[in-house]
């Protein structure tokens, strides 16, 4: 203690205590310093308490980026359950293609993004999230075999997604591997969204390749049927993208933990 007092006196350039034999008496400067030191210690304690509360706080707005399928069909359910447990949370879900979401995370515009493809990056973590499968979907009323060949597929009226969509890209990759070009399909319409394709299928305008996740309800009620294509298995994974060196505020950290725990419930 004596050494600490000496160090403080040296730093302040003044005497804080008069040493009188076996006793010491505070100087006038010590009397001035004491209440201010108490105030500083109290401020430090308050800061520590605030930081502790921040570590426990789950409130405010969460802005999450997502590609179409997770943004429209996966996140709303998770967000609803999360808000039931944390009522002071609100959500903004920004839906864009995977490339745009990844760019937003890299540019610090988003803290969390859910995407359908991962890239090689030293700056990003890609946490495996949900596995999806692309399937051939037709109206429940359409008379069609439960399984068809690729040669039969090209005879069917086909609904195609626009250039640049993740679903179309997956179809093109599958076709390339199996000697089937998009131009060989009997395309009756090109539509700009998953929802538009799904509605056109239900109206029996044609068939198309869609995410199984996006048509779960329609399959369950019979409005849409799944047709097996011989030799075709189109699976893809969604990932949660975060910056490696970015510390997540507690609400985002808790939500990320919730996302990763929810994986087992979606298999």
Could you tell me if residue 9 is inside a domain? no
- pLDDT of 50 reads 65
- The answer to whether residues 126 and 249 belong to one domain is yes
Please tell me whether residues 213 and 141 are part of one structural domain: yes
Query: Does residue 96 have a pLDDT over 60?
Result: yes
Give residue 48's pLDDT: 67
Higher-scoring residue by pLDDT: 218, 32? 218
Predicted confidence (pLDDT) at residue 49 exceeds the cutoff of 80? no
Give yes or no: residues 138 and 213 share one domain: yes
* Residue 81 domain-assigned (yes or no): yes
SS3 string, the chain, reads: CHHHHHHHHHHHCCCCEEEECCEEEECHHHHHHHHHHHHHHHHHHHHHHHHHHHHHCCCEEEEEEECHHHHHHHHHHHHHHHHHHCCCEEEEEEECCHHHHHHHHHCCCCCEEEECCCCCCCCEEEEEEEEEEEEEEEECCCCCCCEECHHHHCCCEEEEECCCCHHHHHHHHHHHHCCCCHHHCEEEEEECCHHHHHHHHHCCCCEEEEECHHHHHHHHHCCEEEEEECCCCEEEEEEEEEECCCCCCHHHHHHHHHHHHHHHHHC
Residue 113 in any domain: the answer is yes
Q: What is the pLDDT of residues 155-202, one digit of tens each?
A: 999 999 888 677 787 788 777 677 788 889 999 999 988 899 999 999
What's the domain range around 90? 60-131+237-266
The tokens of 13 are what?
A: 């350039």
7 assigned to some structural domain: no
Q: Could you tell me if 191 and 148 lie in one domain? A: yes
Question: Alpha-carbon distance 174 to 234, whole Å?
Answer: 7
Q: Is residue 84 part of a domain?
A: yes
pLDDT at 136: 93
Same domain, 120 and 176: no
Judge whether 17 and 30 are in contact, CB under 8 Å. Answer: yes
Do 226 and 241 sit in the same domain of this protein?
A: no
Checking if the pLDDT of 54 tops 60, the result is no
pTM greater than 0.85 (yes/no): no
pLDDT value at residue 205: 96
Residue 74 located in a structural domain: yes
Asked, for residue 2, whether it belongs to a domain, the answer is no
Q: Is 194 within the bounds of a domain?
A: yes
pLDDT recorded at residue 65:
96
Which residues have CB under 8 Å from 19's CB, separation 6+?
A: none
- Clarify whether residues 223 and 167 are in a common domain: yes
Query: Looking at the predicted structure, is the pLDDT value of residue 57 above 80?
Result: no
Is 264 a residue whose pLDDT tops 70? no
Domain shared by 127 and 138, yes or no: no
pLDDT digits (tens, 9 = 90+) for 201-230: 999 999 999 999 999 999 999 999 999 988
Does 167 lie in the same domain as 153?
yes
Number of domains the chain is built from: 3
Same domain, 175 and 86: no
User: Kindly report the CA angle at 36 between 30 and 38, in degrees rounded to 5?
Assistant: 100
Q: Read off the CATH number of the domain in which 98 is found.
A: 3.40.190.10
Tokens of 264: 């087992």
- Considering the domain architecture, whether residues 183 and 260 belong to the same structural domain is answered as no
Please indicate, yes or no, whether residues 168 and 251 belong to a single structural domain of this protein: no
């Amino acid at each position: 203690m004596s050494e600490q007092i000496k160090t403080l006196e040296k730093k302040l350039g003044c005497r804080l205590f008069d040493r009188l034999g076996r006793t010491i008496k505070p100087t006038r400067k010590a009397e001035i310093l004491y209440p201010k030191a108490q105030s500083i210690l109290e401020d430090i304690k308050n800061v520590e308490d605030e930081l502790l509360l921040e570590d426990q706080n789950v409130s405010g707005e969460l802005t999450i980026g997502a590609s179409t399928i997770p943004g429209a069909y996966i996140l709303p359910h998770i967000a609803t359950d999360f808000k039931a447990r944390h009522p002071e949370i609100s959500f903004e879900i920004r839906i864009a293609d995977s490339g745009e979401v990844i760019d937003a995370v890299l540019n610090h515009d988003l803290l969390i993004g859910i995407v359908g493809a991962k890239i090689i990056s030293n700056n990003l973590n890609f946490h495996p999230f949900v596995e999806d499968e692309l399937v051939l979907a037709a109206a429940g009323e359409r008379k069609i075999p439960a399984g068809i060949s690729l040669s039969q597929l090209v005879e069917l009226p086909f609904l195609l997604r626009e250039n640049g969509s993740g679903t179309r890209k997956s179809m093109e990759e599958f076709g390339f591997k199996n000697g089937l070009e998009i131009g060989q399909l009997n395309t009756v319409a090109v539509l700009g969204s998953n929802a538009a394709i799904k509605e056109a299928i239900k109206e029996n305008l044609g068939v198309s390749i869609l995410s199984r996740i996006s048509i779960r309800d329609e399959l369950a009620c019979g409005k849409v049927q799944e047709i097996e294509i011989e030799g075709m298995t189109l699976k893809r994974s969604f990932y949660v993208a975060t910056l490696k060196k970015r510390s997540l505020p507690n609400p985002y950290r808790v939500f990320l933990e919730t996302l990763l725990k929810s994986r087992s419930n979606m298999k």
